[in-house]
Amino acid sequence: MDQDVKTYKIGTLSYTKPRLILLLLFLVWGDICYWMMEFIIPNLVPLMFRDMKASNMTISIVLTSIPMALNALLNPIISFKSDRFRSRWGRRIPFLLVPLPFVVLSLIGVGCSPQLAPWLYGHLQGFLFGLDLRSFTILLLSIFITFFSIFHLFMISTFWYLVADVVPVAVFASFSSGLRIATMLCSMLFNFFVLKHAGTHMQAIFVIGAILYGLGFALMCFMVKEGEYEPPPPYVKNKKGFIAAIRTYFQECHTTPIYLYIFLVSMMYNAGAAGGPFVNLFHLSLGMSLQQMGIIHGLSAGISMAVIAVSGPLADKYHPIRVTIVGFIACVTIGIPMQFIWMFGMPSPTFNFYYLLFQMILIYYPAITVARMLDPILIIRLFPKERVGQFCSANAMWRSLSSIVAGAILGIVLDLLLVLLGTNEKAWTYLPLWQWICFTMGLFFLLKVFQHWKKMGGDDNYKASVVDFSK
């Protein structure tokens, strides 16, 4: 009887369907925490900066350029070491548990910055070289966000590596889609019931979010078990030390063309997303309230869940690369261009609300949801399994460098448009054009990835190869 029970295997791990569902539930806890901060920081912190009258350049640097610079510097180190780390807890769990308390404390600091700043300012005023309270508050908030970015980097660098190590390949896309559906459901709840209170209860949102983050990730780390791993691969020419590690990292990651094109796709995707910190400010400038924005984003999340539920199994059946290409084409041909209308005039707030409601729910969010299969589902499927952290970090490094440059350039462009057009509201209407240019280039490189994937065996015979530099 037991021989008839279907099992799902990855490495030394084996799951029956009930155990696979249990694994999903524990990983959902971690993914919800991961999503919570990926959503709250870029959506709520710009509102805090707006209230402090921070410049577009400040918002762009603090929320895009600095985190991406840290990502480019630290992610490769964290990921390379995690791939080669061996312990009784596995190679991923220690990299999630150790920084967790610091992430929680820095999140609380972000939420409490407006209240903490006057008290600190009163005690430190003599050492601030004439800095006024408003500037000091912006500085304090920026410091807490930077500390959060440093410690949260361990979490975002390692969480999906853990998923890749414990989830069988045969159900990876469907499994990942299940995680995304759970987080999208939380997104709906947040947008419907929490976002409208951001203006009056910002501190409570961050403090409660920090506590849930800590509890959720701790539970996941103690309940999910990793399998056994082979000994770590050698460095270049079997040498040891920091220089050998650097040479190994860059030579292995930057030799095979398909991986280079993947990096370019990710760079263009992130460059297009550089306008993220300004999106809610742009929507507010269209005459919408936080409650209306919550309705739009909440309903859009619901539609995205339906899209994810379909696209995940389709990716397992037809391969994620085909599904991702469809998503990019939809974004470039209709999803993004429908937002160009505000470059040519500003209709009434009522029209803006209903138009954006229609466009976001039925066009943009379904298209961008499918395109997001690029990371992590597609790249984890294409990168070498035993070095998935190393290659994902190289992807993240180039993606981060792209965001640094794109964030700075976009901030400058928006400030120049502010001078030319007279208001931020008019400048922000050009955000969709920026995203469209970047996504069009991303689609070109994605088609190059598809071309090389076919040459390397395609559906039946593709094998993620790494050039051996150890000899």
Report pLDDT digits (tens) over 359-375: 988 899 999 999 999 98
CB contact set of 15 (below 8 Å; sequence gap of 6+): 7, 8, 9, 23, 168
| pLDDT at 334 (0 to 100) | 95
| pLDDT at 41 (0 to 100) | 82
pLDDT digits (tens, 9 = 90+) for 61-98: 898 888 878 887 888 899 999 999 999 899 999 999 99
Q: Looking at domain 13-227+239-461, does it have CATH number 1.10.540.10?
A: no
Closest CA to 147 of 157, 137, 139, 158: 139
pTM over 0.85: no
Reduce the DSSP state of residue 469 to 3 states and report it.
coil
pLDDT digits (tens, 9 = 90+) for 239-271: 888 899 999 999 999 999 999 999 999 999 999
Alpha carbons within 13 A on the beta-carbon side of 251:
14
Burial environment of residue 331 by CB neighbours within 10 A (0 to 12, 13 to 18, 19 or more): buried
The percent of residues above 90 in pLDDT, for the chain, comes to: 41
User: Does the pLDDT at position 1 exceed 50?
Assistant: no
